[in-house]
Amino acid sequence: MAQLQARFFTEDTRYTVDDVPFSVPAASETTDLSNIINKLLEAKSESHKYVEFDFLIKGQFLRTALVKHMETENIPTEEVVEIEYVEKYMAPQPEQCMFHDDWISSIAATEEWILTGSYDQTSRIWTVEGKPITTLAGHVDVVKDVAWVKKGGLSCLLLSASLDQTVLLWEWNVEKNTVKVLHRCRGHAGSVESLAVDGSRTKFCSGSWDTMLKIWSAVPTDEEDEMETEEVADRPRKKQKTEHLGLTRTPLTTLSGHTGAVSSLLWSDTDEICSASWDHTIRVWDVETGSLKSTLTGSKVFNSISYSPLCRRLASGSTDRHIRLWDPRTKDGSLVLLSLTSHTGWVTSVKWSPIHEQQLISGSLDNLVKIWDTRSCKAPLYDLAAHEDKVLCVEWTEAGLLLSGGADNKLYSYRCRANTSDIGA
């Protein structure tokens, strides 16, 4: 059998082996190499317990036979090949299934609670164990996005955005488990599709079907903002049902420039917002001046964006089924760093892991949730096939809880085992 010379290395000091070349069969796959590393570790320590490893050559995961991978990547087989190994990321297991009365459009989770928005016109708060705590009913149409403003203490502030063209700022009294609307934020002329809260938790941004971004104060007050009279007169009657809900709040600033619906938003820095749109662009805005800093241009509608402060990359999900990675600070707005392709329907939602700089989760109209590692761009790490209908939203918490909501009215939670060995690998 053909042999190759390989040198193995790892950044995980628990699993280091001798820094010398070994002869390994050319047809070796991940399991075979894992067995080799475990045998070497057993020889060093009798107490070693078997560990499954993944292997990388020049930053790419090995997913085929060793010799085939090397041929595909044009790596010479006559030289000693450097192979990095990391503890294998285990498949997350579904833990809980929670229900709304209609499609679940959005999820925002903390270490303690899960906030969801639904087409049933309500938002709900759940424990991370899946128990319902309370329902927030204040909109007269579909809830499109939700966000936490302030968490902890005896009360929390949170936001819900709706097809009814408003954003509601809620106060949840955790101790008494009561909710009330503090402010009704009005100013958009279309469905409010997306919300993002700034790092200081004092401002938030909303993106709408009306192509506008609006920035609002997130600080509760006892004051009501004046609306322009003709705007009030022109509003459809059904919207006036919510007149008693909270004090009217108007935006601090409006950012205009998109020519299509604003589908997704995030604060990428203290005074910087990224917005994704159906106009095939992602725009980076300077909040202080209200000016456009840069534009990333795609060829199809953008549904979702997520920014990772760990790797400083922006991930986008589009209607052409691809996930793309961008550098938001690039001078070349058409430069895609990496494409992740496996979904067979629109990618509706993407979210970076807050703890692994190479990992992200995606949801799609193909009913699947996929977990990716950017070092394996040709195939996802895992497909999670719990949903029976379109996946509309995904979330990943710092505590390692993955969440997905869909058109089957179900919210699934999945627990992934904490694995620190490949952080920064």
State the DSSP string of 305-341.
Answer: EEEETTTTEEEEEETTSEEEEE-TT-S-TT--SEEEE
CB atoms within 10 A of CB 308: 20
C-alpha span between 317 and 303 (Å, rounded): 6
What is the C-alpha to C-alpha distance for residues 239 and 241, in angstroms, rounded to an integer? 5
What's the confidence (pLDDT) of residue 315? 97
Res 424: pLDDT? 36
Q: Are the beta carbons of 262 and 275 closer than 8 angstroms?
A: yes
Vertex 274: Cα angle to 273 and 279 (nearest 5): 135
β-bridge pairing 3-9 and 81-87 = parallel
Phi, psi (degrees; rounded to nearest 5) at 101 = -90, 0
Q: Taking the model in full, what pTM does it have?
A: 0.89
Integer Cα distance of 180 and 62 in angstroms: 53
3-state secondary structure of 150: strand
How confident is the model at residue 98, as a pLDDT?
96
Task: List the beta strands (DSSP E) in 175-261.
Answer: 178-186, 192-197, 203-208, 213-217, 247-249, 253-255
Secondary structure letter of residue 80 according to DSSP = P
Q: How far apart are CA 304 and CA 343, in angstroms?
A: 15
C-beta of residue 271 within 8 angstroms of C-beta of residue 286: yes
Give, for all 425 residues of the chain, the pLDDT tens digit. Answer: 699 999 999 999 999 999 999 999 999 999 999 999 999 999 999 899 999 999 999 988 999 999 999 999 999 999 999 999 999 988 898 889 999 999 999 999 999 999 999 999 999 999 999 999 999 999 999 999 999 999 877 899 999 999 999 999 999 999 999 999 999 999 999 999 999 999 999 999 999 999 999 999 999 999 888 875 444 434 444 443 444 589 999 999 999 999 999 999 999 999 999 999 999 999 999 999 999 999 999 999 999 999 999 999 999 999 999 999 999 888 787 888 999 999 999 999 999 999 999 999 999 999 999 999 998 888 899 999 999 999 999 999 999 999 999 999 999 999 876 443 333 33
Q: How far apart are CA 125 and CA 103, in angstroms?
A: 16
Cα–Cα distance for residue pair 33/55, rounded to 1 Å: 8
Cα–Cα distance for residue pair 157/56, rounded to 1 Å: 44
pLDDT at 421: 38
pLDDT at position 257: 96
